[in-house]
Chains A and B, each alone.
Chain A
Amino acid sequence: MNKDNLEITELTEAFDDVDFPRLERSLRHPRTLISAGLSIAIGVATVLACIPLFSVLYMLIIRGGKKLSTELFTQLPPTAFEAGGGFGNAIVGTLVMVSIAAAIAIPVGVMTAIFLAEFGPQSKTASIARFCAKTLTGLPSILAGVFAYAAVVLATGSYSAPAGGVALALLMLPTVILTAEEAMRMVPVKMKEAAIGMGCTPTQVAWKIVLPTAMPGILTGVMLAVARAAGETAPLLFTALFSNYWFFEDGQSQLMEPTASLAVFIYNFSGMPFENQIEMAWAASLVLVLLVLAINVTGQLISSRTKTR
Chain B
Amino acid sequence: MNHTLPSESEFGGEASISAPPSKFDVFADRGFRSATAMFAWLTVALVFLIVYEVGGSAMPAIQKHGVGFLTTQTWDLQSEQFGVLPEIWGTLYSSFLALIIGGFFGISIAIFLTQDFLPRKIEWAFKNIVELLAAIPSVVYGLWGIFVVIPMLRPTATWLHENLGWIPFFGTSLSGPGMLPAALVLAIMILPTVSAISRDSLNNVPNRLKEAAVGLGATRWEAIFGVILPTASKGIFGALVLGFGRALGETMALAMLVGNSNQMSISLFSPGNTLAALLANHFPEAGKDEEPVLMYAALVLLAITLLVNICGAFVLKRASRRTAGSH
Contacts and interface: CB of A to CB of B under 8 A. Distances in A.
A233 B49 CA distance: 22
A206 B29 CA distance: 10
Nearest to A202: B29
Interface string A149-171: 11100100000000000000010
A49 B137 contact: no
A151 B138 CA distance: 25
A203 B199 CA distance: 37
Given A50-B129, A112-B40, A143 B301 contact: yes
A74 interface: no
Interface stretch (A7-15, A131-139, A243-251): A131-139
30 contacts: A32-B219, A38-B221, A42-B108, A42-B112, A53-B129, A53-B136, A59-B147, A112-B43, A115-B33, A115-B40, A120-B40, A128-B44, A129-B41, A138-B309, A142-B298, A143-B298, A146-B279, A146-B295, A147-B53, A150-B54, A177-B43, A198-B18, A199-B20, A201-B26, A231-B136, A234-B252, A237-B283, A263-B139, A289-B135, A289-B137
Interface string B20-34: 110001101100110
Contact of B313 (A134, A154, A203): A134
B53 A150 contact: yes
A87 interface: no
A101 interface: no
Interface stretch (A65-73, A77-85, A185-193, A280-288): A280-288
Nearest to B51: A147
A91 to B, nearest CB: 14
Interface residues of A, number: 89
B40 A43 contact: no
The size bracket of the interface on B is 35 or more
B53 A53 contact: no
A interface majority secondary structure: helix
A267 B29 contact: no
A34 B140 CA distance: 40
Contacts, number: 259
A197 to B, nearest CB: 7
A211 B264 CA distance: 53
A304 to B, nearest CB: 11
Contacts of A25: 219
A46 B108 contact: yes
Interface of B: 17-21, 25-26, 28-29, 32-33, 35-37, 39-44, 46-47, 49-50, 53-54, 56-57, 104-105, 108-109, 111-113, 117, 126, 129-130, 132-133, 135-144, 146-148, 188, 191, 217, 219-222, 242, 245-246, 248-252, 255-256, 276, 279-280, 283-284, 294-295, 298, 301-302, 305-306, 308-310, 312-313
Nearest to B316: A134
A46 B29 CA distance: 52
Given A56-B141, A125-B40, A204 B25 contact: yes
Contact of A35 (B132, B220, B279): B220
B149 to A, nearest CB: 9
Given A140-B249, A238-B284, A203 B33 contact: yes
A103 interface: no
Given A140-B276, A150-B53, A49 B109 contact: yes
Given A140-B301, A267-B252, A129 B136 contact: no
A267 B142 contact: yes
B140 A132 contact: no
B54 A146 contact: yes
A227 B255 CA distance: 22
Given A35-B221, A136-B47, A289-B135, 6 more contacts: A52-B133, A111-B35, A139-B50, A140-B301, A147-B53, A233-B138
